[in-house]
Amino acid sequence: MPKSQERLMDIDGIVEYIANSTLCFGAGKKLPVVDSNVKRILGRVFSLDSEKKIKEKARSLLPEEGYVNYNYALLDFGALVCRSQNPKCKKCPLCDLCEN
């Protein structure tokens, strides 16, 4: 398996999200995993309106340690609480920061 994002993305069908997920969760590399759930969270909380800004923010927030669990937590939080339809704002600890 390729060990770099660039080499993985050279494979047809592999986009940045899949490459970073593979390398973070499968190889323990410190990379942000940004899917639609994470884009939604960061966009709402930080009032970001472009994918580039969201990816930059995701990279800047990635902790030095525990980044695998951090990425899993963001993915789950977006899927379960900060949902695109019917978000559970009353259960959200970030609701005071959110534009939603």
CATH of the domain at 27: 1.10.1670.10
Q: What are phi and psi of 11, to 5 degrees?
A: -80, 130
Q: What is the pLDDT of residue 24?
A: 97
DSSP state of 25: I
Widest distance between CA atoms in the chain: 43
- In a domain? residue 47: yes
Question: Would the pLDDT of 2 be above 90?
Answer: no
- In a domain? residue 53: yes
Q: Is this prediction's pTM over 0.75? A: yes
Q: What would the pLDDT profile of 54-90 be if each residue is shown by its tens digit?
A: 999 999 999 999 999 999 999 999 999 999 999 999 9
Are the C-beta atoms of residues 74 and 33 closer than 8 Å to each other?
yes
Are the C-beta atoms of residues 26 and 19 closer than 8 Å to each other?
no
Alpha-carbon Rg for the chain in angstroms: 14
Name the domain count of the chain. Answer: 1
pLDDT bucket at 97, cuts 50 / 70 / 90 = confident
